[in-house]
Structures are given as structure tokens and as C-alpha cells.
Amino acid sequence: MTGDQPLLKLEGLTKAYPGVIANDHVSFEVQPGEVHALLGENGAGKSTLVKMIYGLVRPDAGQMHLNGERFEPHEPRAARALGVAMVFQHFSLFEALNVAENIALGMENPPAQRDLAARITEVSETYGLPLDPARLVGDLSAGERQRVEIIRCLLQDPKLLIMDEPTSVLTPQEVEILFETLRKLSAEGTAILYISHKLEEIRSLCEGATILRLGKVVATCNPREKSARELAELMVGQTLHQPERSRAELGEVMLEVNGLTLPPATPFGTTLHDINLSVRSGEVLGIGGVAGNGQDELLAALSGEVTGTGQAIRMKGQPVGDLGPNERRALGLLAAPEERLGHAAAPDMSLTENALLTGWVREGLSNRGFLNWPKTRQFAERIIAEFDVRTPGPQNAARALSGGNLQKFVIGREILQRPDVLVINQPTWGVDASAAAAIRQALLDLAASGAAVICISQDLDELMEISDNFAALNAGRLTPARPASGLTVDEIGLMMGGAHDMEVAHVDV
Amino acid sequence: MDLSAINWLLLLASLMVASTPILLAAIGELVVEKAGVLNLGVEGMMITGAISGFAIAVETQSPLLGFVAAAIGGAVLALLFGFLTQVLLSNQVATGLALTLFGLGLSSLLGQSYIGIKPPLTGMIDIPFLADLPILGTIFFRHDLMVYISLLIVVAVWFLLKYTRIGLILRAVGENHDAAHALGYKVVRIRLMAIAFGGACAGLGGAYLSLIRVPQWTEGMTAGAGWIALAIVVFASWKPGRVILGAYLFGGVTVLQLNLQAAGLAIPVEYLSMSPYLITILVLVIMSADRSRTALNAPACLGRSFHASS
């Protein structure tokens, strides 16, 4: 049913927030049954655009048409009633509720719980997405949670399904299952608006693409006719340079973890089971795995936020498991957690104060309890200069920086303290491509200068690019490390736990 | 000490009366907290309800109108809290504490001309047949209407939260307000309704004190009942059934210590008066010893301000 009329037509959509134009006269069309990609860097305006289509945000100007009719949803309910459904990037799920309750919340007129459970089972079998309606969402893996969202959408027979970065939390095998489902939906006539910055995925899945940069449409193309590099450069608007590594000889073992087992601190946290790893001077150890498999817990155990691990963690042969973060910093073990605002940096404190918070031990920023502000300010200014942090100055609050700039600051702060071991979680999450390349280069340079780097990330391309050895976290267990060069995507997927315990789709296309 | 001086039947019967104010306040606060709002102003709303109910009952000579006025008074004060925290996004803890202080002050101002007055009597309801049962009749079936209404409210809240869509939405808002907003639910509106309900229940609890339990008006007569109600919600791990248990446990200890005082137990009275509070603290400590289980039941967004970012 590819009629003459587009399913969704956007004309001149504009939305401005104070100080920034999120969308500037955006126009494009989606045909029925088309899988259309919306490409762009963070901050390019993709999320604002789909929020307007889903009725969460109202445009300042411009028009939308759905099936040729004027489409002005003023709330998500109205959009859903007209057949627009959305799977969110950060899941819109309720952990303490069960699957059926979560799905009922996303429907206008849900049937009684028992009938709903039967329908969930039926739809999930049809699309090869098995799910138990009675399970608590808090106990599900990220892949299964996404299924809950997708089934919630499918139960409403959508004509347009919006997916915001759906694969960022999935293993390669789970991505394959998802793509099978999406292709089946598309064959049935459901159009899919697919937001991502993973270019290879888009090239394999999508028939059309609209590329946004700084809120404007810069290109519309068929992604299969372009190379990933061409698409990337359209997104960034400049040529990209790949990080280079100058190989250093691997030296002595700097950090060693033997049989680390740790119960979680929160009810939905992950237990670490018998973690073994070692990282040598000059080495980058990449740790992959889907979010929620113990990344945060491992970082906390290594950084010293969680103590009492005694002999299990050794730095240059000396046990550090009972030392707190500052004592570990003094020994040269530094860490940068994933959550920038609130964990790596205090949002309402200035950059100078934030520089002090982790830097005072190694940079000598305090003297008998008195703070040396001039020296701290110099340290903050040095971070800003060397890591190209775009900010008016070190007196600015951390909250005022964009995600990418704050990330550069947080990582620069640790690197400039000349760590012997740096543990870092999601170094380039939500950071635009050129800043990400700069951060990766800095990590490689740090390793080349003789430090050991442990990089925990969910971005496999990133890990393949910078790591010497690769290990994967899966349900709190760490696989043995393997040399990163020569690993195939399938092997990595299996190390990450494959498609978990979920069967491969029985899709009848 | 003469334990035989204690009439155990009457003690059990008065247990229900002693527990009703905190039961009402606690079930209201449970709904508020299930919606993700921490309103520490229960004490203030209770005492405001106590004086509004008392004043209207005295002026109209109708206890029923008094209770209606108490619910309205509590709800109005709660909506003030709701406006400050949900619309103006003020800090819930600080605002709740301020609400308590404000309620205490406001009630003494309103109550100045009502000190020493007797309110109209609320009739007892002897449930036919059941009230004549030996033992059980005295304990359970010879109370005033509010005792039964308070139990009905608890059952209704339990049913609503567990089996209805409204309850599901309320729990969803308390669990993850961002997700609820993304799905198109009106987080602020739902929370305001929950806050108003909580205020009305606290008001009823306060009026029960001034109109039935005591019955007269004295300044600060709630004497910490609102704080106990807050503690009982945690003790109950946000489950309506356990709120009854918690409230009756506290009421039981209160009544028992009064009876023991009367029976002339040979320890200072102050220790006995302290005992209900000490036992509450003790029970709370035991309950929260298993931290992960308490955290599992607590609404995940409890006490966090919601601000729609889009």
C-alpha cells in the first residue's frame, strides 16, 4: 500500500527554546511502510522533532499532515489515537510494576488484566518477542524491557512507529531480532521513524534518511547509496579524523582483580560474581556489555566508592580493596563514572570547585585543610585549555555546560592528574562525534605514556577502536579478556551473553 | 499494681477509638506518598481539621457538618502545600515542616474562642444483632460511625490501588514521573488530587480527636499524632492493610499505658507515656533493617520534584 500520499508530511516545523532554535523549518515526508531514518548528532534536534510528532511539545510554527489531514496533537493521547506510537530512548517504564501493568498504562482503553495478559502473549508470539506478562519490569534485561515498550506500541496497531535510539542498549544478537520485527512490521505497512547515530544499522535497515544538523535539515538521501563515512560527515559538517594509536610496549601489571564478589547496593542493582581482570602499563582494557550488567557496580568497586573488598583488588601488588577513593587517588588509581551531573561533577558548583573535588589529593590543592584557590583555578584553566572545553571560564557552574563539554572537563580533570590507572565508564556517552574522537585520542595518549586504562562502555565500535584487550560484563560476571584485534561482531555478541535467554524470533514473513 | 483492675474488654474497645485518628491520617498520607509526594505537614493538617471540625460542629450543633468541614479544612491546607511544591516546585521537606508549624499556629488562632466549650455529642451506632454478641459485640460493634468509615476508607484505598486504573496511574506517577509524563499523564494534577485526599483524611483524623476522642478543643491537642501517622506509613511499607495493623498497634500501646497508669504500675508515669513512641521507633528500626526490601516498596519518586522538561 504505497499510495501517492505520504503517511506523514512535515512542513517548516520550527521550535525555539530560550537561546537555542531546536528545529528550524524542518520538512520531510514518510511513506506508508517506509523505514525512515532521522540522523543527527546530539543536540541536532531529533528528540524535539519526534516529541512534536508525538504531541509532547507543540511547534512554534509549521504544519504536520497525517494521511493528508492536518495533524496537531496537543497531547500524546491524541497522537496515539491517530495511530502514532513511540518507543523511548530512556525507557518510559515503571520498574516496580509488572509487564501487563506497564503495557496497560500506555493504552487508552486497556482490557481487563486477564484479557490483556492473553493479548500480550499472543502479540509477543506473533512477532517473536516472548514476554511473561506477570514479571516485574525491574527484573528484566534491557532487551526485554524494550520488548515491553514495543509490544505496548503494537497492541495499538500503529501506522507510524517512532523509535528513539532503540539499539543503544542491545547486544548484536538482540539487534538482529529487533530488525526482523521491524522488517515484518514494515512489510505489513507500518511506517517506522528510526532515530539513531549508528550508521551501519541505518544502512542495513532504512530506505530513506533525513539528516539534521543544528536543527536544520541538511540532506535527505537513501542511506544505502552512501557510505557510513559520507553520512557521518553530513551529520558533523566537517571531515572526521580517526584516533591514532602509537603502540607502546605493555609493561608491568598495574591493577589486578581476583575473585571479586560484591552484593548490590540497591534493590535492582547487579551482584558482581567472581570478577577477575588485570591491566598492564600501556594497555587499554575495554569492557563491553549491555547497560545494567554490573558496570556501575564494577566502577564503584574499583574507584573506592564501595570498600571492604580487601585482597580482591591489588594496585601494583598492594591490596587497595579497603581504601577509600582519596587513598586510592593518592596511589594513582583514578576513576570517572558514567553519570556526569551528580556523580562525576557537582552540578551547582563551579568548574574550579569541581576540579578541586577530585584533584586536591594529587595536585596539592590544599594545605593543612586550607584551600589553595589560585592553584585550583590554574588547574581548572589548564583542563579547559588542554581539552578544548567550551565555556566562558572556570567560574561557570558545571550544570551550565553541555553534556559533551562537561564530559571533556571531567575526563581531562582525571587525565591531567597523571593517573597510573584510570577507570572510566561510558567516556563518550551523549558526546558529539568530534568531541568523542578527541576524548578517545586522549585516552590512547594516556595509555601510550605508560598508564593503564580500563574503559567500560556500551559502544562496541569505540571499544574496538581503542582497546588492546576486550572483556564483556554479563549479569555481573566478566568474561576472560581477549585481544581486541580480530574479534568478530558475532564473537563479541556471544561474550556479551548473546540474546540472553531469549529465543531467536520465529518470524513468518 | 493490680492488673485485675483493667477491664480488658473495654481496653480493646477503646483501642479502636484511640487508633482511628492516626489510622485516618496515615491512610491519607499513604495515598500521597504512593503518588510520589512526601507531605510532612500531616500534623498541621490534622490540627487544622480538628479546629475547623470543632468550630463548625459547635456553631451548627451538627457533628456531621463538623466532619465535613474538617475534611475541607485539611484539604485546603494540603492544597496550599500542593501549590507550593507542585506548581512553584518548592522543596517538599521544608514546605511540609512549614505546613505543620503554620497549621499549629493557625489552629490556635482560630480556636481561641472555643476553649472549654463542649461539642455536640456524636451518636454511637450499635450495629443490630452484632452489637449484642458477647465479647465481640463490645469490642467491635459498639462504636461511632467514624470508626467504621475509617476502616471503609482503608479498604477502598486498598481496592483502588490494587484493582483499578486510577490506582495504577497513581502508582505509576509515584514510581516514575518522567515516564508517566511521557505517556501523557498529568503528573501535577494527579498529585494535587492525591495531596487533597491526604489532607482531607488528616482533617478527619484531627476532628475525630476534638469531637469524639477527647472531646473538646485544646491548643496542640494532636500532640504528635501526625508524626506517628507518617511513621506508620513507612512501618506499613506503603501497604494499606498494614496501616491498620500499625495504627492499631500504636493505639493499643497508648491505651495500655493509660490503663497501666491507672492500675498503678510502679514505674514513673513518664516512662509509660514515652512507651508508644519508643515502640514506634523500635518497630521502624526493625522494619528498615532489611534496607533493600523497604526500598523496593517505597515509591521510587518519593519526595522528588517534577518539572516537565519539554
Q: Length of chain A in residues, anyone?
A: 509
SS3 assignment, position B227: helix
Could you report the per-residue pLDDT of B166-223, keeping only the tens digit for each? 999 999 999 999 889 888 899 999 999 999 999 999 999 999 999 998 889 999 899 8
- Structural domain includes residue B15: yes
Please report the pLDDT score of residue B78 as a whole number: 96
pLDDT of residue A367: 86
Determine the pLDDT at residue B199. Answer: 97
Beta pairing class for A313-315 and A477-478: unpaired
β-partners of residue A333 are: A421
Identity at A125, one-letter amino acid code: E
Distances in Å between the Cα of A326 and the Cα atoms of A257, A307, A344, A354, A487 are: 19, 12, 14, 15, 37
Helices of type H across B164-235 = 165-175, 177-182, 187-208, 225-235
Give me the pLDDT at residue A4, please: 66
A463 pLDDT higher than 80: yes
A124-153 average pLDDT score: 83
Tell me the pLDDT band of A501, cut-offs 50, 70 and 90: very low
- Specify the CATH number for the domain of residue B253: 1.10.3470
Reduced 3-state DSSP string for A319-376: ECCCCCHHHHHHHCEEEECCCCECCCECCCCEHHHHHHHHHHHHHCCEECCEECHHHH
DSSP string, A425-438: E-TTTT--HHHHHH
Instruction: Name the B residues in 187-226 with CB < 8 Å from any A CB.
Output: none
Which of B161, B165, B183, B292 should we substitute to test contact with A (largest number of A Cβ atoms within 10 Å)? Answer: B183
pLDDT in tens, A429-457: 767 777 888 889 999 999 999 899 999 98
Beta carbons of A95 and B292 less than 8 Å apart:
no
Residue written as cell 571531515? Answer: A239
Cell of B99: 505546613
For the four alpha carbons of A489, A492, A494 and A499, in that order, the dihedral sign comes to: negative
Q: What integer pLDDT is reported at residue A290 of this predicted model?
A: 79
Give Cα separations from A168 to A4, A12, A191, B103, B250 (angstroms). 34, 30, 21, 51, 51
Range of the domain at B186: 3-113+141-297
The CATH topology of domain A253-496 is: Rossmann fold (3.40.50)
Probe site for chain A from B175, B185, B189 (most A CB atoms < 10 A)? B175
Q: Which fold has domain A8-236?
A: Rossmann fold (3.40.50)
For residue A504, the model assigns a pLDDT of 43
pLDDT > 80? residue A259: yes
Average pLDDT, chain B: 88
Model pLDDT, residue B91 = 93
Q: Average model confidence (pLDDT) for chain A? A: 85
pLDDT at residue A507 in the model: 40
Whether B4 has its CB under 8 Å from any CB of chain A: the answer is: no
Domain count, chain B: 1
**Which residue in B has a C-alpha nearest to residue A103's C-alpha?**
B183
Count of CB contacts below 8 A, A vs B?
Answer: 59
**Residue appearing with cell numbers 450543633:** B61
Q: Which three cell numbers stand for residue B128?
A: 443490630
B264 within domain boundaries: yes
Mean pLDDT of A27-48: 86
Residues from chain B contacting residue A55 (CB–CB below 8 Å): 184
Partners of residue B295 in chain A, C-beta under 8 Å: 266-267
Minimum-distance CB partner of A92 among B165, B171, B183: B183
The grid cell for A15 is 521550535
Q: What pLDDT score was predicted for residue A243?
A: 67
CA distance B292 to chain A (A): 5
Contacts of A80 in chain B (CB under 8 A): 184
Distances (CA, A) of B126 to A129, B154, B303: 59, 21, 43
Summarised one tens digit per residue, pLDDT across range A58-104 is 899 999 999 888 888 888 888 888 899 988 766 688 888 889 999 99
Candidates B305, B187, B175; CA nearest to A267 is B175
* Residue B285 exposed, middle or buried by CB count within 10 Å (0-12, 13-18, 19+): exposed
> For residue A18, what are the β-bridge partners?
none
pLDDT of residue A196 exceeding 50, the answer is yes
**Chain B residue with minimum CA distance to A101:** B168
Q: Do the domains spanning A8-236 and A253-496 agree at the CATH topology level?
A: yes
Q: Which residues of B touch A92 (CB under 8 A)?
A: 176, 178-179, 182-183
Average pLDDT value for residue range A348-354 = 92
Nearest CA in chain A to B163: A113
d(CA A35, CA B42): 54
Query: Where exactly are the structural domains of chain A?
Result: 8-236, 253-496
Average the pLDDT over A397-424 and give the result: 89
Q: Are A294 and A475 in contact (CB under 8 A)?
A: yes
ipTM, two decimals: 0.80
Helix (H) or strand (E) segment spanning residue B31: helix B8-34
How far is residue B232's CA from residue B130's CA, in Å, rounded to a whole number? 30
Q: Which residue did the predictor score with more confidence, A291 or A15?
A: A15
B183 and chain A in contact, CB less than 8 A? yes
Q: Note the pLDDT of residue A2.
A: 44
pLDDT at A3 over 90: no
Q: Which residues of chain B have pLDDT under 50?
A: 310
Nearest CA in chain B to A106: B183
Give Cα separations from B152 to B26, B93, B160 (angstroms).
14, 30, 12
